C-alpha cells in the first residue's frame, strides 16, 4: 500500500448518483464556497457533520481547500468538480468537504502542516485524502483533467485511492496515524531566548538570504515577504549599516518596477513566479497591499525619496478606490482570472497588453513608452508576435515618468471585463489595511486617509462583533463567520492602537484592551504559554495550533506579542509584558533556525526589547505640541509607542516618564527606552537629535 502511495506522490508533486446541485453551499457565508454551490460534486462544508458521515459510512474524506482569487482552484473546478463523471467517482467512494482557507485559516494551517510533514506537495488548491478520524494519508495540490507532464489525472488519483482504501483501509489508517504522530512532534514547544544578540544574529542571517541580483528572497518564485524586509529595515535603523537598507530598498524597487505591480491601475499582485519579479500570479490581496503600504511608508520616512512616497500614495489610492466596500471596510481580494471579449476566462486577461494594443492606444507616444516599459510573457507562455499579450514592467534604466500614457491605458482598460472581487470582510486583513492606511495618513499628513481608516474600523467592528462582544473572523452578505482566530484579534487590536496614536481617541485604546482580554480568555495556553490559533470549540480536528510561521502575514503569536508590548508601553500593565515574554520564551526557538519563516516573531521580539516610548506633554492641536508630533512622525520607528498627554495628566507609576512635565510651560517631549528617559526636549530639532540617539541605543 505504501508503494501505491509512493508512486502517486511522485506524480503528484507538481454510492449515490451525482447531485444536480449542491444547495448545502448556497447558504454559506464564503463567496468561494458559493462559487461551488452548483458543482456536480455535492460538497459538504467543514464541520462535525461531515466527519460523522465519514465515520458512519467508513469512507475517506476528500478535503479540498482553496480561495476565491485562486487561479488553479478555478481551473480544477471547471475541469473536474463540474464534471458529473468525476462527481460520480467522488460520491461513490468519498465524503467531499470544501474549505475557504481565508475564512478558516486554522483549518488550512493544520492541514498544510500535516501534509508537509508527510512530504506531500502543498499549495492551493490543496487536495487531501483523510481518514474518517481526520488525519491525512495522501494528497497533493492541483490535479489535471488528463495526465499532464507526468502528473496523473484527477480521475486516476481518485480511483487509485478508492481502491487502496477498499482493499486495505488499515494500511491507510496507519499512514494517517503516522501523520498524526508527526504533527504532535512538530507541535512540541520550541523554546528559545530572543535577546539582543539573538535578534542581531537572525537579522544578519536574513541578510545572507537576500537575492543579490534581483532583490527579495527566493531563487524562483518571489513573495514580497514584508515581515522579513521589515526585520532588515529594523536592523538598519538600529545599526546604521547600509547593507540592510540597500537590501530593503532594492527589493521594494524591484517589486514596484517589475510585473508584481500593476503600473496601469495600481496595487500589487500576490507573488511573482520568476526571480526578476516580472511575471506575477494575478490575484490582488488586501493583506499584501496593506503590508507593502506600511513598508513603503516606513522607508520613505527615513529616506525621503520621492519614488517611495509615490508608491505609498499609489497603493493607498488603490486600496481606497478598488478594495473599499460601500460601507467603509475593505474587501478581501480581486480574482486572478478575468474574461476576454468572447467571455473566455483566463489568468491575468484584464492586465495584459500586446505591443499591437499599446501602439494603437498610445500612437506616437508608443516608442518612448516601449523604451521605458517591457512586456513579460505570462507563466507557461511566450511572446512570439506583436499580438501576444504580456505583463508590463518598467525598465531599470528608465528615468522619465509616463503618467499621461498610463492614464490612457487605464481608460482603455476600463472597457474590459474586470476581475471579480471577493467582498468577504476579514478581520485580520482589515486590521492590516486599516493600520497601514492610518499610519500612512499620520506620516504623510493625509487626514482623509486617517478618516477612511476610522470609517473602515467602525464598519468592521459593527459587522464582526456579536452582541456579546465576541469578534468574528469574517463577514459576508449580512452574516458573520466563525469566531476570530488569534491573528484576527491581534491585527484588529494593532489597528486600534495605531488609530489611538493617530487620533488620541482613548476609545481605540480601550477597544484594543478588550480584544487582548478576549485573546487571553479564549486563546492563551496557561500550561505552556503562548496563544492557540483557534478557540477550543471551533478548532480543527487533531489539535489546536500555536501559530509561529508567517503565512505570509505575521503569525498570530507574533502580532499578539507586538500588541502586548505596545499596550504595556502605553498603559504600564505588567501582566501584558509578562505574557509577551512568556510567549517569546515558548515559541522563540524557531527564529534561530528559520528566521525567514518566523520574521514576524523576530520583529515582535525587537519591539519588546527595543521599543521607544515617545511622550509629548501638551495639547493636541496646539502649535508647540503639533510641531513635536510632526517631527516625531518624520522618523521611521517601527517599535514606537506614542502618547500625547495634556499637562497634569499622570502616567502609570512604572512608566519611565512618570512625573515628568512641561518645561517653562512649553510643550515638551521625552523619549524613553526601558527604564531610561531622555532629557526633556521642547524644541523639534532637539527632539530629532534625541530620537536618533535613542533609536541607535546611544
Residues 6+ apart with CB under 8 A from 139: 12, 63, 115, 120, 126, 127, 128, 129
User: Is the bond into 300 cis (omega within 30 degrees of 0)?
Assistant: no
Q: Measure CA 435 to chain center.
A: 13
Give just the sign of the alpha carbon dihedral 627, 567, 461, 105. positive
Quick one: pLDDT at residue 646? 95
Q: Which CATH number fits domain 2-186: 3.40.50.80, 3.40.30.10, 3.40.50.2300, 1.10.10.60?
A: 3.40.30.10
| Domain positions in the chain | 2-186, 196-218+314-334+422-608, 337-418, 612-695
DSSP string covering 134-192: S-EEEEES---SS-BTTBPPHHHHHHHHHHHHHH-HHHHHHHHHHHHHHHHHHTS----
pTM of model > 0.85: yes
The string of pLDDT tens digits covering residues 435-475 is 999 999 999 999 999 999 999 999 999 999 999 889 999 99
The string of pLDDT tens digits covering residues 366-397 is 999 999 999 999 887 888 889 999 999 999 88
137, 429, 477: which is closest to 284 by C-alpha? 429
Phi, psi of 392 (to 5 degrees): -70, 135
Quick one: pLDDT at residue 14? 39
Fold of 612-695: Glutaredoxin (3.40.30)
Residues in the chain, pLDDT under 70: 1-23, 539-542, 698
The answer to whether 421 and 335 are in contact (CB under 8 A) is yes
SS (H, E, C) 587-640: HCHHHHHCCCCCHHHHHHHHHHHHCEEEEEECCCCCHHHHHHHHHHHCCCCCCE
326, 225, 335: which is closest to 285 by C-alpha? 335
Residue 447, helix vs strand vs coil: helix
600, 422, 504, 324: which is closest to 30 by C-alpha? 422
> Same CATH fold, 612-695 and 196-218+314-334+422-608?
no
Quick one: pLDDT at residue 361? 98
Architecture of domain 196-218+314-334+422-608 in this structure: Alpha/alpha barrel (1.50)
Residues 6+ apart with CB under 8 A from 38: 21, 22
| The three grid cell numbers given for residue 15, joined into one nine-digit string | 454510492
Other CB atoms within a 10 A radius of the CB of residue 126 amount to: 23
Specify the DSSP class assigned to residue 485: P
Q: How many residues does the chain have?
A: 698
Rounded Cα–Cα distance for residues 312 and 268 (Å): 11
Rounded Cα–Cα distance for residues 642 and 404 (Å): 41
Amino acid at each position: 500500500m505504501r508503494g501505491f502511495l509512493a508512486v502517486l506522490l511522485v506524480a503528484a508533486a507538481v454510492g449515490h448518483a451525482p447531485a444536480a446541485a449542491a444547495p448545502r453551499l448556497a447558504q454559506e457565508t464564503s463567496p468561494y464556497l458559493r462559487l461551488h454551490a452548483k458543482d456536480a460534486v455535492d460538497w459538504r462544508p467543514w464541520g462535525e457533520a461531515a466527519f460523522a458521515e465519514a465515520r458512519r459510512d467508513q469512507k475517506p474524506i476528500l478535503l479540498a481547500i482553496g480561495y476565491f482569487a485562486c487561479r488553479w482552484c478555478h481551473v480544477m473546478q471547471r475541469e473536474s468538480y463540474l464534471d458529473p463523471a468525476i462527481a460520480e467517482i467522488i460520491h461513490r467512494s468519498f465524503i467531499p468537504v470544501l474549505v475557504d482557507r481565508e475564512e478558516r485559516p486554522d483549518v488550512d494551517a493544520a492541514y498544510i502542516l500535516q501534509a508537509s510533514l508527510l512530504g506531500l506537495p502543498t499549495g492551493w488548491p490543496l487536495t487531501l485524502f483523510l481518514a474518517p478520524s481526520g488525519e491525512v494519508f495522501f494528497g497533493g495540490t492541483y490535479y489535471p483533467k488528463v495526465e499532464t507532464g507526468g502528473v496523473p489525472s484527477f480521475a486516476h488519483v481518485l480511483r487509485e485511492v478508492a481502491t487502496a482504501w477498499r482493499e486495505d483501509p488499515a494500511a491507510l489508517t496507519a499512514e494517517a496515524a503516522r501523520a498524526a504522530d508527526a504533527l504532535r512532534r512538530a507541535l512540541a514547544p520550541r523554546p528559545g531566548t530572543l535577546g539582543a544578540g539573538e535578534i542581531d544574529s537572525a537579522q544578519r542571517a536574513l541578510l545572507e538570504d537576500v537575492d543579490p541580483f534581483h532583490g527579495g528572497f527566493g531563487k524562483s518564485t518571489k513573495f514580497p515577504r514584508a515581515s522579513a524586509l521589515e526585520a532588515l529595515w529594523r536592523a538598519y535603523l538600529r545599526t546604521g549599516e547600509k547593507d540592510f537598507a540597500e537590501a530593503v530598498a532594492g527589493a521594494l524597487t524591484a517589486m514596484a518596477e517589475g510585473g508584481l505591480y500593476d503600473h496601469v491601475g495600481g496595487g500589487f499582485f500576490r507573488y511573482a513566479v520568476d526571480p526578476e519579479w516580472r511575471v506575477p500570479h494575478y490575484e490582488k490581496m488586501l493583506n499584501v497591499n496593506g503590508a507593502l503600504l506600511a513598508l513603503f511608508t516606513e522607508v520613505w520616512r527615513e529616506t525621503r525619496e520621492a519614488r517611495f512616497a509615490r508608491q505609498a500614495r499609489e497603493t493607498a489610492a488603490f486600496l481606497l478606490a478598488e478594495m473599499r466596500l460601500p460601507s467603509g471596510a475593505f474587501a478581501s481580494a480581486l480574482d486572478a482570472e478575468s474574461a476576454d471579449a468572447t467571455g473566455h476566462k483566463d489568468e491575468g486577461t484584464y492586465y495584459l497588453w500586446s505591443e499591437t494594443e499599446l501602439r494603437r492606444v498610445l500612437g506616437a507616444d508608443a516608442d518612448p513608452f516601449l523604451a521605458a516599459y517591457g512586456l513579460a510573457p505570462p507563466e507557461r507562455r511566450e511572446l512570439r508576435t506583436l499580438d501576444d499579450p504580456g505583463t508590463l514592467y518598467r525598465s531599470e534604466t528608465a528615468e522619465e515618468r509616463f503618467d499621461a500614457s498610463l492614464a490612457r491605458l487605464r481608460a482603455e482598460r476600463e472597457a474590459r471585463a474586470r476581475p471579480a472581487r471577493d467582498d468577504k470582510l476579514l478581520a485580520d486583513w482589515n486590521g492590516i489595511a486599516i493600520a497601514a492606511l492610518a499610519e500612512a495618513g499620520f506620516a504623510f499628513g493625509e487626514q482623509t486617509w486617517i478618516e477612511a481608516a476610522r470609517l473602515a474600523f467602525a464598519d468592521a467592528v459593527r459587522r464582526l462583533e456579536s452582541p456579546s462582544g465576541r469578534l468574528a473572523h469574517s463577514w459576508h452578505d449580512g452574516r458573520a463567520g466563525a469566531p476570530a482566530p488569534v491573528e484576527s484579534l491581534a491585527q484588529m487590536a494593532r489597528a486600534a492602537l495605531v488609530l489611538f496614536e493617530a487620533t488620541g481617541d482613548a476609545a481605540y485604546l480601550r477597544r484594543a484592551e478588550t480584544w487582548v482580554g478576549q485573546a487571553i480568555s479564549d486563546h492563551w495556553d496557561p500550561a505552556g504559554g503562548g496563544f492557540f490559533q483557534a478557540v477550543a470549540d471551533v478548532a480543527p480536528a487533531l489539535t489546536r495550533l500555536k501559530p509561529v510561521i508567517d503565512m505570509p502575514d505575521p503569525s498570530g503569536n507574533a502580532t499578539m506579542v507586538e500588541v502586548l508590548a505596545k499596550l504595556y508601553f502605553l498603559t504600564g500593565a505588567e501582566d501584558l509584558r509578562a505574557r509577551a515574554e512568556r510567549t517569546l520564551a515558548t515559541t522563540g526557538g524557531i527564529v534561530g533556525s528559520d528566521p525567514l519563516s518566523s520574521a514576524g516573531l523576530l520583529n515582535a521580539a525587537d519591539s519588546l526589547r527595543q521599543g521607544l516610548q515617545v511622550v509629548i506633554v501638551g495639547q493636541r492641536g496646539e502649535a508647540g505640541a503639533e510641531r513635536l508630533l510632526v517631527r516625531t512622525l518624520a522618523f521611521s520607528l517601527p517599535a514606537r509607542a506614542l502618547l500625547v498627554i495634556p499637562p497634569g495628566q499622570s502616567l502609570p507609576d512604572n512608566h519611565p516618564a512618570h512625573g515628568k512635565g512641561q518645561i517653562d510651560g512649553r510643550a515638551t517631549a521625552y523619549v524613553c527606552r526601558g527604564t531610561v528617559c531622555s532629557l526633556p526636549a521642547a524644541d523639534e530639532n532637539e527632539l530629532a537629535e534625541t530620537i536618533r540617539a535613542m533609536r541607535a541605543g546611544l
